[in-house]
């Protein structure tokens, strides 16, 4: 079934709440049909915050690894929100940092078969740190030298795919030679 389907059914909702819409569709191909189960979590964003040769990471508990996780600040894009506004909001909520300028860096899909979650990455060097501001999601913010962050990716300390992609892409693009 390597061709495009000749017909796709309307989505059939299996479960829906404010965080996720799980639905199925049936795609009819010349050779037969296939049912897809789609997990739609909507758009999300993440922000790479650079200070000289360091990157900011925040720490929060993640259930699936039953541990604390170092990540770039980020999260969901609200229903009536654009990704840029969401990026600024998430950085302030998770790190207590106000970003004055975010630049688009990369747009990707976590999965292209059954997960709908377009993810916008932004980068900034323009920010103001507010002291002592954290929400209930994060317990710490910390600057890491890029060499340390890369080591954390390689040794498996950083497990979050958005953070891994952000660190590696930033380094590969060699922005500001960090």
pLDDT in tens, 137-154: 888 999 999 999 999 999
Would you place residue 177 in the very low, low, confident or very high pLDDT band (cuts 50, 70, 90)? low
The neighbouring-strand residues paired with 62 are 67
Q: Over the stretch 10-41, which tens digit does the pLDDT of each residue have?
A: 999 999 999 899 999 999 999 899 999 999 99
Tokens 């079934």 locate to 1
What distance in Å separates the CA atoms of residue 88 and residue 148, rounded to the nearest whole number? 25
Torsion on CA atoms 167, 83, 74, 112, rounded to nearest 10: -70
pLDDT at 175 over 80: no
Categorize the per-residue pLDDT at 131 as very low, low, confident or very high, splitting at 50, 70 and 90: confident
Total-model pTM? 0.90
CA 171 to CA 178: how far, in whole Å? 7
Q: How confident is the model at residue 178, as a pLDDT?
A: 46
pLDDT tens-digit profile of 37-74? 999 999 999 999 999 989 999 999 999 999 999 999 99
């Amino acid at each position: 079934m390597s061709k495009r389907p000749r017909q796709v059914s309307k989505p059939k909702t299996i479960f829906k709440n404010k965080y996720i819409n799980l639905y199925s569709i049936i795609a009819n191909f010349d050779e037969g049909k296939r049912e897809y189960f789609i997990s739609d979590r909507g758009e999300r964003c993440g922000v790479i915050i650079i200070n000289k040769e360091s990157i900011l990471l925040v720490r929060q508990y993640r259930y699936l690894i039953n541990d604390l996780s170092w990540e770039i600040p980020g999260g969901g894009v609200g229903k009536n929100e654009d990704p840029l506004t969401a990026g600024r909001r998430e950085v302030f909520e998770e790190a207590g940092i106000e970003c004055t300028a975010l630049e688009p860096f990369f747009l990707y899909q976590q999965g292209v078969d059954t997960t709908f979650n377009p993810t916008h990455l932004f980068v900034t060097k323009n920010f103001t740190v507010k002291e002592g501001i954290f929400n209930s999601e994060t317990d710490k913010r910390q600057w890491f030298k890029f060499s340390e962050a890369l080591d954390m990716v390689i040794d498996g300390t950083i497990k979050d795919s958005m953070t891994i992609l952000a660190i590696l892409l930033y380094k590969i693009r060699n922005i500001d030679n960090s």
